[in-house]
Amino acid sequence: MSWQVTSTISGGHRYSTADYNQYLGVATALSDASRTYASLSDIWNATVLQLQAQRYGTPLVNALGGGAILCSGSDHISFPYDRLIQRCSDHAGACHIMAKRLAQLADLVIRAHSLYSQADDRNRRILNELLQATVTAFPKESLAMAGILSFGGFILGSAKEGRTNGIHALDSLDWAQEGLMSGAGSAIAGLGGLRGLFHTDEVNIAAKRIAKITAPGYDLVQGNELSVTQVHANTAVVRESHGVADSMEDLRRLAEERLGKIDLGSGLDYGTIAISRYRREDGSNAWLVTIPGTDGEPDSPFGWPQNVELMSSDSKQRMQADSARMVAEAMRQAGIGSDEPVAMIGHSQGGIVAATLASDLKDEYDIEHVVTAGSPVANHPIPESTWVTSVEMDDELVAALDGAANPNTENWLTVRGTVGQTPDDDSIFTGTEVQDAPDAKEITHWLKYHQAAYRNATDMGSAALEAHERHFQNVIDGDLEEVTYWQGRMSK
């Protein structure tokens, strides 16, 4: 069994009314043509049924080997029923395939050019608000219903897969994850009743409250003394990048190397980020900061509790998170100038750190582009001058922890991937294969799923995605001069 990802795009490039109507007209024409060919397929199939009925109603048809003798006066004509039925069946099949391909092309145009993204975002917002109000008003009942749906999804998903797999309990609630999180956040933040309907940052307000307790407590356990030192890799982990896809692959290599999922022989350990310096044609520097996600080690600045601080609605609290402090200090030691362009890419907590620094250090660094993978950053106050490319999976939960959809603006583009089994049919517009995916369904928070989602979005030929890709490339345009690695450790 193999798995593939199909993507949808929202935000990014804004079309004029004329362009929008032109793309919509193309999609509509393709859909109309698809329906026409589907009707032709039905007509040819009906013709097959009529011929078969006539054939078997004709005397001696079996004795004549599928043909029949038709009498017209004194003439006798052999009628080739078998060949005619086969030709009609072939025409029906060809029309069916054409109808399917035209429908897929129409869907591709719609997805590539985000034709319905505004309506989708509006419906998603309405659903989230309804779920939030329901959870706030009926918390026990909502929890019970979520449990029932989750258990039902687990049973049905496991039965379909042919093995017991707890991940299906999570998948069954993917449509409700943001709404449930916003409802829980609203309750914790004290935004009950109608007040919560005027917010999209309920989770962040709740995180502010929670972090006031968890941050001091974890400091007592872990310590609050941060040390950031440059370390050296025995082999190249982060290499020269020529785009988002390259940078995502290097992010995966660095993340999985420090977690021990792969062995590149680098000698790098947990709590490590990479900073790449590029030399432009005019001699100036450009920078790329690569930030993996949570590793959970006891003395790492990328522990689990730091996520709560990073999600806080308070700027000071966000910047007190150990992982944010660590990356900011590494950027200082690496010598990044305040007027030198910076691109950042991060997975999970790494993406939240990138969004935090873009929000809260906007006066200290020229952070021009942020790429996040599986990161809940919808409510971070990233300035409009910073471009954001977010890649999320619709069933991974982590990206939904902010309880809100990402902003739909020209400078903020979101790629949402949906994972499914690779079909066995002859479809020419399939999704993108997930590399090294197991046979069983697994959590889609691994970077390989975000990589597949981004590749699929790229293959669609989206003008919005191409604009974001060009912007990212322009930020780090130049020759790679060096990659430095920085390790953080916490102590009392």
- Per-residue pLDDT reduced to its tens digit, 212-258: 999 999 999 999 999 999 999 999 999 999 999 999 999 999 999 98
Section 319-348 average pLDDT: 98
Site of tokens 């409700």:
176
Contact 365, 338 (CB under 8 A): yes
Question: What letters, b where the CB count within 10 A reaches 16 and e where it falls short, cover 77-99?
Answer: eebebeeebeebeebbeebbbbb
CA–CA dist 246, 469 (Å, integer):
11
CA–CA dist 312, 321 (Å, integer):
10
Q: How confident is the model at residue 190 (pLDDT cuts 50, 70, 90)?
A: confident
Section 113-132 average pLDDT: 88
Section 431-451 average pLDDT: 95
Q: Looking at the predicted structure, is the pLDDT value of residue 136 above 80? A: yes
What is the residue-averaged pLDDT of the chain?
91
Which residues have CB under 8 Å from 349's CB, separation 6+?
Answer: 293, 294, 302, 306, 307, 310, 323, 375
Section 80-98 average pLDDT: 91
CA–CA dist 432, 456 (Å, integer):
5
Site of tokens 């356990």:
221
Element of type H or E holding 7: strand 3-11
Q: Looking at the predicted structure, is the pLDDT value of residue 417 above 80? A: yes
Contact 347, 255 (CB under 8 A): yes
CA–CA dist 102, 39 (Å, integer):
13
**Amino acid (one-letter) located at 73:** G
pLDDT digits (tens, 9 = 90+) for 35-77: 999 999 999 999 999 988 877 665 555 544 455 555 555 565 5
Section 19-34 average pLDDT: 94
pLDDT at 152: 95
Section 114-141 average pLDDT: 88
Q: Looking at the predicted structure, is the pLDDT value of residue 194 above 60? A: no
pLDDT digits (tens, 9 = 90+) for 276-310: 999 999 999 999 999 999 999 999 999 999 999 99
CA–CA dist 1, 141 (Å, integer):
38
CA–CA dist 173, 115 (Å, integer):
26
Contact 375, 399 (CB under 8 A): yes
3 state SS of 87: helix
- Angle between helix 244-259 and helix 463-475 axes, rounded to 10 deg: 70
Q: How confident is the model at residue 427 (pLDDT cuts 50, 70, 90)?
A: low
pLDDT digits (tens, 9 = 90+) for 386-399: 999 999 999 999 99
Q: Looking at the predicted structure, is the pLDDT value of residue 198 above 70? A: no
Kindly report the backbone phi and psi dihedral angles of residue 228, in degrees, each rounded to the nearest multiple of 5, phi listed first: -125, 120
* Partners of 449 in beta bridges: none
CA–CA dist 344, 373 (Å, integer):
11
CA atoms within 13 A of residue 99's CA, in its CB half-sphere: 15
Which tops the pLDDT comparison, 76 or 419? 419
Section 16-28 average pLDDT: 92
Which residues have CB under 8 Å from 381's CB, separation 6+?
Answer: 315, 359
Contact 335, 426 (CB under 8 A): no
Pull the structure tokens for residue 188: 């914790």
CA–CA dist 353, 347 (Å, integer):
9
